Every structure is written in C-alpha cells, then in structure tokens.
Amino acid sequence: MPLRLTSRSYRARVSPGNAIGTAMIALASVAISAHAGAQPAAKVRTIGWLLQTAAPGNDAPRAEDLQRSLRDLGYAEGRNLRIEYRYANGDLARLDALADELVRLAVEVLVTSGEPAAIAAKRATRSIPIVATEMTADPVKSGLVASLARPGGNVTGVATEELWPKRLALLRELVPSVSTVAVLWNPANAANAACKQEIGAAAPALNLQLRDLEVRDPRAVDSALAALVKDLPHALVACWDDVTLAKAKTIARFALEHRLATLAPLTDYVEAGVLLSLGTSLSTQRRGAARYVSRILSGSAPGDLPVENSQPKLVINEKTLQSLRLPLPVSFQVRIDEVL
C-alpha cells in the first residue's frame, strides 16, 4: 500500500529536535504544498461577438464594456475566457458570412450587436445560444423570439421599448414650433426600417411633416446634411444605427449651426451633443449581455431567459439646450432622468 504523506504523520514519527527529522518535515511540507498547488487549469470558455461596426480600434469602448462586465462575473480574457470578434465594418451584407465563421468555430455563446447581426446569427445557427443586444426594434416583430417572457429557441437578450411616439411628443413639448422633421435612417438596417415606420405612424397625430434622409454610410450623412441647407427642417431625428452614431457629433454640430433641435433613441447620441434622447445606452445593454452570457455558460437555456427590456431614461444635453436658447418647462424638468 503506498504511503500517504501528511504533515501530521511526519510530526508523529520524527522528533523536531533531530536535524534529520527537521529536514524531513520541511521536505514533506514542500511536497504537500506542491501537490495542493497542482490544480487543474481553469476551463477556457469561448464566446463569439458579431458586430456591425468598423475596425476594433474604433470600437474599443464597446469591447471594454463587455470585457469589464464579464470580468466582474468571473470570466476574464487570457485566464478562463476567449472572445472571437467579428466586425462587419459597416457592411451589413457581410454579417451572414461572419456569423457562419463563428458557428464553424463552435463558440459556446454568440453575442450580437444590433438587429441585423442578431438576424444573421439566427440564420446561421439554431443550436448555439445567441445573446442579442443593442436592439431598438421589437424582437418579437423581427422574428428573433417567440415572446419577451418566453423567447423559446436559442435567442434571448436585451431590447428597448418602441418609444417613438413618446420621443416625438417630448420633442414637440420642448420645442412647440417644430413642424418639419428630417429623419436620418439606414435602409440597409431592418431595424431602421421599423424605426422609420414607427415615426411615420406617430407623426400625423403631432402635426409633423417628415423628410426621409437615407444614409447607408458616413459619407452619405455628410451629403444629406449638406443638401438640407437649401431647405432646413425644424428638427433632426436619428434612428439608431452604427452609421448615424458614428456621425453623431457631426449631426449635433450641424444642428447647432443651423439652430435645429435634435432627437435620438440612445443616451450615446446626447453624449455626442444631440439635444434629447429617451431610451437606454449601449453600455447598459452590454452589461445586460454579460449577465446573460454568464447564466448561459452556467447551464441556463436561452429560450428560458426572458428578454430584458431596459428601463428608458430621458436624457438632455444642457449645453445644447442653452445654445438653442430653449426654455425648459417645469413639467418637463420633473421627468428628466439625467442632464449631461
């Protein structure tokens, strides 16, 4: 029978006053410590992240948000987590091929940013769990889930309510003189088509006339704004898309130069200088995505995890408000969640 070495057995057999005994005790302690330290390496979990955005260098804050949130939940890149990133660089037509790449890598969870990426991922796999985030359209209407409470299938994630009637009403309340609104949207983005449709349905009740500004890439934003100078609207509204978000500062500067109000669905636009938003922030959605990834890696089925509806926040840019010299009604003030 092999001899089991323990500190206790050595102390019982060897006198501490004996030099040889002391050495043997020390050697036994080292052996026991080495055995205790030889634990199996932590299993490395692999997730894929499919993004519509440009090169990783331009997307560092987005990556850092997810990485930090996953670290807080016990998953750290380089230790027990590997993230395979795939960027479409604004070309939504590439999403299907990139989703297929991640499926072939057999990632354990597939995180997506934006509705087009989520739809591409669902086309690519019905077995790998998908955590869809940065969604602004109803995931039920887009066919991603069966219901918010019981998604079913392999998709869950974080979404926001359809709030365009409320957003436009807030804009009209803050700037009663608004009657014409130019809408910046990307026709290549299915969620933007839903955004435009919702704005169009809400506009008549508020006596708003709309102008469509199709922007498929950042250069198109510059061209669309330049064309507006000949016949300015009273306000600019941006549907959430990587194109309009990348040009949010340009949109905000143009609007201030021509004294136009601006409205968007995400706090991120207000941080760039847009006047007003009612919705969530991308960092909030990414933190939610990390929680879902953690639960799925722990064994939860995505179809059993209800889609999280982020609590909308009314956010206003104080500097922009002052530059436009707009009074802030008391009834409006009490509803503001954050002033930037």
pLDDT (tens digit per residue) in 300-313: 999 999 998 888 99
Question: Which amino acid appears at position 47 of this protein?
Answer: I
User: DSSP letters along 184-218, please?
Assistant: EE-TT-HHHHHHHHHHHHHTGGGT-EEEEEE-SSH
DSSP state at residue 312: P
Domain 164-281+313-339: homologous superfamily in CATH: Response regulator (3.40.50.2300)
Q: Write out the H or E segment, with its range, that includes residue 280.
A: strand 276-280
pLDDT (tens digit per residue) in 19-49: 544 544 444 454 444 444 444 557 899 999 9
Domains 45-161+282-309 and 164-281+313-339 share a fold: yes
* 261 within 8 A of 180, measured Cβ to Cβ: no
Provide CB contacts within 8 A for 82, sequence distance 6+.
44, 45, 46, 47
225: confidence class by pLDDT, cuts 50, 70, 90:
very high
Using the predicted structure, report yes or no on whether residue 5 has a pLDDT greater than 80. no
Could you tell me the residue ranges of all domains in the chain?
A: 1-28, 45-161+282-309, 164-281+313-339
Task: Give the closest residue to 46 by CA, choosing from 70, 95, 80.
Answer: 80
Question: Which amino acid appears at position 112 of this protein?
Answer: T
Task: Give the closest residue to 264 by CA, choosing from 183, 188, 340, 327.
Answer: 183
Tell me, what's the pLDDT at 40? 52
- Predicted structure pTM score: 0.80
Tell me, what's the pLDDT at 31? 47
pLDDT (tens digit per residue) in 269-282: 999 999 999 998 88
pLDDT (tens digit per residue) in 196-212: 999 999 999 999 999 99
For the domain 45-161+282-309, what is the CATH code?
A: 3.40.50.2300
pLDDT (tens digit per residue) in 166-188: 999 999 999 999 999 999 999 98
pLDDT above 90 as % of the chain: 62
Task: Give the closest residue to 163 by CA, choosing from 340, 315, 305, 333.
Answer: 315
CA separation for the pair 292, 294 (Å, rounded): 5
